[in-house]
Amino acid sequence: DVTRMAELPDARHALSLQWVFGVAPEAGAHSLSDENRSAIFYTSAHTGVVLDLQSQTQLLLQGHRNAICATAASEDRRRIATADAGPGSMLVLWDSYNGCPLRSIAPPHESGVRAIDMSPDARYVVALSAGPAPQLLSLWDLAADGDKPLYSHQVNSTAEEQLSVRFSPEAPTEIVTAGGRIVIFWSWASGTLECYAPEEAGASLQQPVSPLTGSLFLPGSRRALSSTTDGQAVVWDVVSNVPEADTLRRRAVKLVRLASRSTIRCAVVMHGLLFVGTADGHVRAFNSELRLVAWFEDIAAGPVTSISFSHDAAAWEGKGGADDLRCADFIVGTAGGL
């Protein structure tokens, strides 16, 4: 039990973990820096690590029985969610300042978790199940008591396994999941969890589309975007003849190139800008019209697997164009570590 583990003093353990070496890049890395601290979060096998960059100390988050495979952080960086897959799996919400578990759900799904996301305000967490079909998507209200999800819905049996999940940053009632070919849009705005899987992008656009690597919502619009393995991205928009309130029914409307023949490994939206990390080790920033406004090509640390910004709203004020991009400090996770 993760709560009991956190409460036991070191003297009660035959062995006490003091320091962790190594990084698990597939679970992602998060900047926890704000006006009070300079810190990052990453995972190493079964353990979450909050590394204070100034004091060079580690705060270790322990309790998972299996290697942590998915993580998420709240917008203010005060909350972290971790999840694993396998026997005795758990989904845990942590206080990133003191390392205390605030909530644990065990098990979130029978075989654990494939992917998770947290709403910006840390009120909700969504998880895709791992393991054999049928795959489930479940949503928890972290302010409610008990482990029972607010909603749980089976992924369409004709759809492939969904590998990623994202909340809309502007409306937590909207969710998008993606597999290698199929994207599913979800909504619980009506009081029930509904889903819609549009026609595959290649069929709608009548041209070949490379396998997808993830999907997210674009800010300030009803559009969504799916990245691909060849550096292009599919833009999804609502069907023109449906009511404005119906945000589920989307279709692929165009294919845009965001990188030069390099797999887009991750994408995040911050303050109206889209940042993508690619297998060639570059980070590129695009505006709301998907026009390139800045690029970072001297990282030289391998394929970029995650991008995370510090919580510093003032750093974004007065952001300009390609010659005057203003943004908060950010970290990148790579296939080789941090």
User: Is 217:270 a contact under the CB 8 Å cutoff?
Assistant: no
| Euclidean distance between CA atoms 193 and 202, whole angstroms | 27
Report the share of the chain in percent with pLDDT over 90: 78
Q: Residue 9: pLDDT above 60?
A: no
CA distance 304 to 190: 37
Helix (H), strand (E), coil (C) string for 232-244: EEEEEEECCCCCC
pLDDT (tens digit, 9 = 90+) per residue, 291-313? 999 999 888 889 999 999 999 98
How many angstroms separate the CA atoms of 167 and 125, rounded?
9
Element (H, E) at 156: none
pLDDT of residue 323: 53
**Per-residue pLDDT, 16:** 87
Contact criterion met (CB below 8 Å) for 116 and 129:
no
Q: In the chain, count of helices (H) and strands (E)?
A: 2, 26
Window from 253-262, 277-286, 304-313, 324-333 with minimum mean pLDDT: 324-333
Q: What would the pLDDT profile of 38-55 be if each residue is shown by its tens digit? A: 999 999 999 999 999 999
Place of tokens 């601290």: 37
Whole-number percent of the chain with pLDDT over 70: 91
Q: What is the mean pLDDT of residues 317-333?
A: 76
Longest dimension (CA), the chain: 66
3-state secondary structure of 203: helix
Which tens digit of pLDDT belongs to each residue from 197-251?
Answer: 999 999 999 999 999 999 999 988 889 999 999 999 999 999 876 666 567 899 9
Q: Which residues pair with 185 in a beta bridge?
A: 176, 196
The answer, yes or no, to whether residue 189 has pLDDT greater than 70, is yes
Q: Output the pTM of the full model.
A: 0.91
* Sign of the torsion angle spanned by Cα atoms 56, 328, 298, 227: positive
Indicate whether 13 pLDDT > 90. no
